[in-house]
A = this chain, B = another copy of it.
Amino acid sequence: MLSSIIFYSLDKAIRQYRKMAQANIDRAGIAITIDQWLVLRVIQEHDDLTQTDIAERVFKDQASVARMISLMLKSGLLAAEPLPHDGRRNRLRVSEKGLRTLDAVQPVVLSNRQVALEGLSEADLAVMRPLLERIYSNCLAGAEPTPEPIQNRTALNATTQPQ
């Protein structure tokens, strides 16, 4: 039974939460995705992070963050200016529009959390948090190296893969 598998329940809960959260943001007439919102928040709080730093904090991939930032620059939520001491980077700032958007989203986000957690006590969350953290750290360590020395990773993507 799928429902007995905890990862299925986890996935289901977080997906539905994201769906509800985005729907309520949309309904409020605010043009931002929840993922973008998270990145914007991080940039607001620390304006001298690399994309890799940001990615780590929001638990996303550097490539994803790069694309999100590029979209947010295009949509005007972010502004960039070159960093004098490092030619590879830009300093990212939340724009005026970005600030207004963050303000507008804030109450929606709080309300979303409240709705999602209705009927759960602080004690419930206190129980759940360390369990989730434990799963996380287990999985962090759990990509065990194979006994075989050399792995043919390329073959995995070949369409002629034997199985």
**Contact across chains for B16 and A139 when beta carbons are under 8 A apart:** yes
Contact pattern, A 106-123, Cβ under 8 Å of B = 1, otherwise 0? 000000110111111000
Closest beta carbon of chain B to A78's beta carbon, Å = 14
B2, B129, B156: which contacts A29 (Cβ < 8 A)? B156
Interface positions, chain A 143-163, Cβ under 8 Å from B, are 143-144, 146, 151-153, 155-159, 161, 163
- Known contacts A23-B143, A139-B19, A142-B115; is A9 also within 8 Å of B132 by CB? yes
Which one, B10, B75, B115, contacts A139 given CB within 8 A?
B115
Number of identical monomers bound together in the oligomeric complex: 2
What's the dominant secondary structure at chain A's contact region? helix
Residues on B with C-beta less than 8 A from A59 are 8, 11-12, 15
For the complex formed, measure the closest distance between the CB of A75 and the CB atoms of chain B, giving whole angstroms: 7
| Residue in A15, A57, A139, A144 with the greatest tally of chain B CB atoms within 10 Å | A139
Query: What is the size category of the interface that chain A forms with chain B?
Result: 35 or more
Q: Are B151 and A97 in contact (CB under 8 A)?
A: no
Whether B151 lies near A16 (C-beta < 8 A) is no
The answer to whether A31 touches B133 (Cβ under 8 A) is no
Report the bound CA distance from A156 to B32 in whole Å: 9
What's the Cα separation between A61 and B140 when bound, in Å? Answer: 28
Of all A-B residue pairs in the complex, the 9 with the closest CB atoms, nearest first, are: A115-B142, A31-B161, A16-B139, A9-B132, A20-B139, A23-B143, A13-B132, A13-B135, A13-B136
26 contacts between A and B (CB under 8 A): A5-B113, A6-B117, A7-B113, A9-B133, A12-B59, A12-B132, A13-B132, A13-B139, A16-B140, A19-B143, A20-B143, A27-B146, A29-B152, A31-B157, A31-B163, A101-B163, A115-B138, A115-B144, A116-B135, A116-B138, A117-B135, A117-B138, A119-B134, A120-B131, A127-B127, A127-B128
